[in-house]
Structure 1
Amino acid sequence: MSAYHEIYAIVRQIPVGKVATYGQIATLANLPGKPRLVGYALYRVDLKESDIPWHRVVNAKGEISFSSLRQGTDYLQRALLEREGIEFTSTGKISLRQYQWQPESV
């Protein structure tokens, strides 16, 4: 299985109302130290056609990673997370203590 397919398989397991970090997904995909690869894989997801909940992956600070390349999807990501009941602080952070996914096994 390719690295991207492994990443996608793990991201699909993140339940509604939970988030994971890029580094966490990299580690679970047996790609430790490669959180950017996770970011690249999720950037390639077709937002309209995919069943991959890309929006549930955030950075290690519990923030949405903003990028000019994302063409506004960072605002979509926040809206999708809020719709799932995830709350943001006034500084735009998510409490990883409260919302981070803790998989039993992958």
Structure 2
Amino acid sequence: MTPQEYVEEVLALVERIPPGRVMSYGAVADALAETSGRASARLIGNIMSRHGSAVPWYRVVSSAGRLPPGHETRAQALLRAEGCPLKGDGVDMRAAAWYPDTSR
């Protein structure tokens, strides 16, 4: 898988996250690891920062539920509008975490 194909796969997966649910950067990387050969949460953060504006970027958070750095207020408002379970300044990961099934 080329780097551009990987970017496209990441964005396609983020588009599939249901409203009111989230995935961590690491979960996105893990979900694509077998087919891509890549498994870096940091790379997912990079991709979201550079290419994620056209997808629901605010549905990708840290594994602790922290919202995207520098966009916390906007992300929280968008997630709240979707009915996402929030906890403190972030997301309640136990209630909101989503992982795709492997059948597309």
TM-score by length of 2: 0.81
Structure in which a larger fraction of residues adopt helix: 2
**Structure 2 partner of 1:59:** 62
The answer (yes or no) to whether the contact 1:45–1:54 under 8 Å persists in 2 is no
- 1:82 match: secondary structure: helix
Which secondary structure does the structure 2 equivalent of 1:45 belong to?
Answer: helix
Secondary structure in 1 matching 2:101: coil
Post-superposition offset of 1:5: 1.0
What is the alpha-carbon root mean square deviation over aligned residues?
1.7
Q: Percent identity?
A: 30
User: How many residues are matched?
Assistant: 96
Structure 2 residue 29 is matched with structure 1 residue 29: no
Distance 1:35 1:9, change over 3 A: same
In 1, Cα distance between equivalents of 2:27 and 2:12: 14
- Answering whether residue 100 of structure 2 is matched by residue 103 of structure 1, we say yes
Identify if the C-alpha distance between structure 1 residues 35 and 46 changes in structure 2 by more than 3 Å, giving closer, same or farther.
closer
**Where does the alignment leave 5 or more consecutive residues of structure 2 unmatched?**
none
Q: TM-score, normalised by structure 1?
A: 0.80
